[in-house]
Chains A and B, each alone.
Chain A
Amino acid sequence: MSKTTLTRRGVLRTGAVAGAGVALPTIFTASSARAFTNEPTGGSVTLGFNVPQTGPYADEGADELRAYELAVEHLNGGGDGGMMQTFSSKSLEGTGILGKKVEYVTGDTQTKSDAARASAKSMIEKDGAIMITGGSSSGVAVAVQGLCQEAGVIFMAGLTHSNDTTGKDKKANGFRHFFNAYMSGAALAPVLAKAYGEDRKAYHLTADYTWGWTQEESIKAATEALGWETVEAVKTPLAQTDFSSYIAPVLNSGADVLVLNHYGGNMVNSLTNAVQFGLREKQANGKNFEIVVPLFSRLMARGAGENIKGILGSTNWHWSLQDEGSQAFVKSFGTKYGFPPSQAAHTCYVQTLLYADAVQRAGSFDPCAVAEALEGYEFDGLGNGPTLYRAEDHQCFKDVLVVRGKENPTSEFDLLEVVEVTPRGQVEYAPDHPMFAGGALGSCNPGA
């Protein structure tokens, strides 16, 4: 049996050497200290595009990536410049950002919070990304926003519609251009009341996660304020594929409207099932039974085929908008890729331009300077009319579209028609609105 000799001196010596070893990298970093995380030093700057490249939202992610590539091309002076021509701010000149050529790296969120955080982390630490943007889910947006806050980089959210992203989970380094569930409710409810009357009984089916909950809450509040009654609100598992056993109880619930707080595959399946069960031909309480899909995505609606015809919902943006900015974007995107962009592509493109413009105006890549330039910033020409990036919660306020599934589509892209452009004033709310309460922006983190 061997005997180990452990002396006080020995332990101290080993500890000191080990301690110095651990501290070494920090010492080196400190000596080459930067003002903020990933401060660009060469002739280029790297942006991190974190989109779902695999998993159920991969098609939406692919469209986001197309938009990002287009934005990078335009920022570097390529193509026709797209929305840079119509943007009210004229600080972008097609010479990159602050004269640095824009490069990018991509990550795969897989629409899983942990995978999205890992890919964002890798882009920040290994590739030196100065800003992270993208995503197609609120769960992911909240997770990545938190990571960017800790890491000291700016997060420009992609498609995320939960109130929480700029509500209880808001962060000083995070910014959302996309609209939210509250805005959907505020825009949609008056149109619903006008189309279907104020005496309606609604039955909600809701995807059981952050986005579904806030959307149900928002739509319920907005419709009840107009006189609708909520008969029942049922949570459905996110992994559910066949909704027949959730649709069947709707038949005899006394409801005359079904609200589907579902997105993506959930929405395609629940809507298809509801139509199969004859809900749209049904009469209840002496009225035609109606189905509502509060958040429409044209990309996803394609999966539901004919079933979306005549169904009302809301959307952040649609390619058929006739304003100058939308037209410019549709033209450059359509010419490059051969089909019109989705709302996800639009928000991602706009977010990239807004970030680049903020850096340009601030004259620095420092996240705190960029955040300051974005806060309270009023702009126009990016497709939704005059828009404000509110300082209090980093949420964009702009017009919201109420859309309806088109009866006679001319192509597979022509699925929705804009019923009403709800003016910004109608969808605004106080920063301390109860649906957005519970969190604080905190202060901006430059990292390093």
Chain B
Amino acid sequence: MDAIILQILNGLDKGSAYALIALGLTLIFGTLGVVNFAHGALFMIGAFCAVTLNRLLTLSHQVVDETRTDFLGNPLKVDVPYMQDIFGEATGAAIIDWSVPLAILFSIPIMIGFGVLMERGLIKHFYKRPHADQILVTFGLAIVLQEIIKQIFGANPIPTPAPDAFRGSFDFGTMLGFDPNVIIYPYWRLVYFGFAAIIIGAVFAFLQFTTFGMVVRAGMADRETVGLLGINIDRRFTIMFGLAAAVAGLAGVMYAPINSPNYHMGMDFLVLSFVVVVVGGMGSLPGAVLAGFLLGILESFASMNEIKSILPGIDQIIIYLVAIIILLTRPRGLMGRKGVMED
């Protein structure tokens, strides 16, 4: 029982990341009709926003410590962050400690700007081209972005810890009547789940309850008619692209403490997110979220030892297996609209 609860929690956590990325992908596909293979790279860039802010906050000058020596036997140069000079040791250290949450604010304008630039500079030239061309150009872009990040930050993962206040784990077991330390879950992963829920809620509320959102939804349903009504739908779609980039970026920022960011983390998520979108139904926002959580939970269960002893290797193929079954029985996905990508 405890193992099942733990895997559900794991699934929800994984599902949050899948859902956030898939949500952005679907937003872009639903509005612009573009299959964006660079979306994983946006997630990665988000994580590197957290790394960059952490680096900026820890910019240091060197102070020579005569009492200690470095590896060559010279006096040791100790790095002292400027933050500690400006704000004092304790406050400076606290600001650095909170760099990941601060990176949320730092990343939003960067990601929106990046998204808009990407749409205006590259994607818009591919609206009328076949999906295959869009996939090629966005995939190419993803590789370029990945290599740029590797050039700047190197190939090794970069540790980007969560604030000290969120270290350690929460004991669910004691709440549910189990022994202590049986069902524990890391605080930061719980924060991630809560954060994802807020972002997903905010995106839906934005589309549902604002005039802007209403126009976008109308445009998603019938772009031509909205255009005939004299509404500049293109501009709104550009903004939506920026928004989708910001959602992917935020997912990346918050993911940085879970797994140290590296340059190919976007690719690791990209394929899975596409499966999520296809299973959920191309163009369906609730479908993307639902499928994200569903596949996250299934993946977690599949990696349980009890299941693997019956079906070895199932943990590696479960997601694709589910995708095949859904596409065979319901080609438009769980919540896909009739006609989308069916022609």
Contact = CB atoms under 8 A, between A and B. Distances in A.
Interface in B1-18: 2-3, 6-7, 9-11, 13-14
Contacts of B305: 232, 234, 249
B91 interface: no
B36 interface: no
Classify chain A: how many residues form its interface, as a range.
35 or more
Interface stretch (A40-48, A51-59, A122-130, A433-441): A51-59
Quick one: which of A273, A276, A302, A414 has the most chain B CB within 10 A?
A276
A334 interface: yes
Contacts of A225: none
A241 B186 contact: no
Contact of B76 (A55, A272, A283, A410): A410
Contacts of B185: 277
Nearest to B69: A410
Interface in B145-172: 150, 154-159, 161, 168-169
Contacts of A340: 71
Interface residues of B, number: 48
Interface in B168-216: 168-169, 181-186, 188-189
Given A239-B268, A305-B159, A273 B182 contact: no
Nearest to A330: B71
Given A269-B157, A304-B159, A306-B159, A276 B258 contact: yes
29 contacts: A59-B156, A234-B305, A237-B316, A242-B14, A242-B259, A244-B300, A245-B7, A245-B299, A245-B315, A251-B182, A251-B184, A252-B2, A252-B182, A268-B156, A268-B260, A272-B259, A277-B169, A278-B168, A278-B181, A302-B159, A303-B157, A304-B159, A304-B260, A305-B161, A305-B260, A334-B72, A410-B70, A410-B76, A411-B76
B122 interface: no
B156 A299 contact: yes
Interface string A244-287: 11101101100000000000010011001100111001110000
Contacts of A278: 168-169, 181, 184, 186
A249 B303 CA distance: 9
Contact of B156 (A249, A281, A300, A414): A300
A397 interface: no
Given A58-B150, A278-B186, A303 B158 contact: yes
Given A57-B155, A245-B7, 9 more contacts: A56-B155, A237-B315, A248-B6, A251-B181, A269-B157, A302-B156, A304-B260, A306-B159, A334-B72
Contacts of B108: none
A232 B2 CA distance: 18
Interface string B116-157: 000000000000000000000000000000000010001111
Contacts of A414: 71
Contacts of B3: 248-249, 252
Contact of B168 (A232, A281, A302): A281
B182 A56 contact: no
Interface in B311-331: 315-316
B306 to A, nearest CB: 9
A249 B155 contact: no
Contact of A241 (B7, B181, B268, B304): B268
A273 B14 CA distance: 13
Nearest to A341: B71
A320 interface: yes
A237 B314 CA distance: 11
A319 interface: yes
A335 interface: yes
Quick one: which of B14, B158, B169 has the most chain A CB within 10 A?
B169
B201 to A, nearest CB: 24
A341 to B, nearest CB: 10
A305 B300 CA distance: 26
B159 A303 contact: yes
A349 to B, nearest CB: 16
B188 A276 contact: yes
Contacts of B161: 305-306
Contacts of A36: none
A196 interface: no
A321 to B, nearest CB: 11
Interface in A315-372: 319-320, 330-331, 334-335, 339-340
